[in-house]
Amino acid sequence: MNSIFDFFLRAKHWLIFLLTFGLTVVGQIAVIASMIVNPLSPEALFRKLTIVIFVATMLSMLPWFVWLWAAGSFLASLQQALFVPNLRFFRFALLLPLLYLCVFFWVFQTTHPVWFLIILPIHFFAMFCILYSMHFVSKNLVQAELQRRATFQDYAGYFFLLWFYPIGIWIIQPKINRFFAARPEPT
């Protein structure tokens, strides 16, 4: 694992909270401030706000997705050989929503209705990918705790804590910290 992932796996829950939820709040404040400071025509304001909202969204989502990537990859490495999960789809499921956001903000600036019909299925698939990523991390966390294959009943609580991550990060990150601290050192 590289130093960025190590940082996210060692970080305290309050720091992860600030990096994810705090950046979201700062991004929203930046969007509102740019609307107040620069009174523009509706068209110019729309274009400018689209760029500001895109940057704020990416800055707020990127730490959360990197944290999910680091946690999911690390927890998957703790699994027994019998139920090692598919990391390729997990990583794809984290990258697709970020790529989708880039396309979405570009399409959002167009007015042609065909683009919206094209992007709608991609939007739902990106939502599925985010849910899958939360499923992957929560399932692997429970399997690392129980040392057996987990059912949805076993990890549903963690799944919903990840879904409502401003709350869940306070419970899940300390568990990840303990697993990371107890891992065997590579030789």
pTM, rounded to two decimals:
0.85
Tens of pLDDT, residue by residue over 108-167, are 666 677 877 888 888 899 999 999 999 999 999 999 998 888 899 999 999 999 998 888
Q: Give the model's pLDDT for residue 187.
A: 46
- CA 73 – CA 55 distance, rounded (Å): 26
Among 1-15, 95-109, 123-137, top mean pLDDT goes to: 123-137
Q: Are 162 and 13 in contact (CB under 8 A)?
A: no
- The token pair at 113 is 């209705």
* Neighbouring C-beta atoms of residue 152, cutoff 10 Å: 11
Alpha-carbon distance 119 to 105, whole Å?
A: 11
Q: Using the predicted structure, report yes or no on whether residue 180 has a pLDDT greater than 80.
A: yes
Q: Are 58 and 26 in contact (CB under 8 A)?
A: no
Q: Cβ of 117: how many Cβ atoms within 10 Å?
A: 9
CA 168 – CA 146 distance, rounded (Å): 19
* pLDDT tens for each residue of 60-79: 888 999 999 999 999 998 88
Domain boundaries, the chain: 3-182
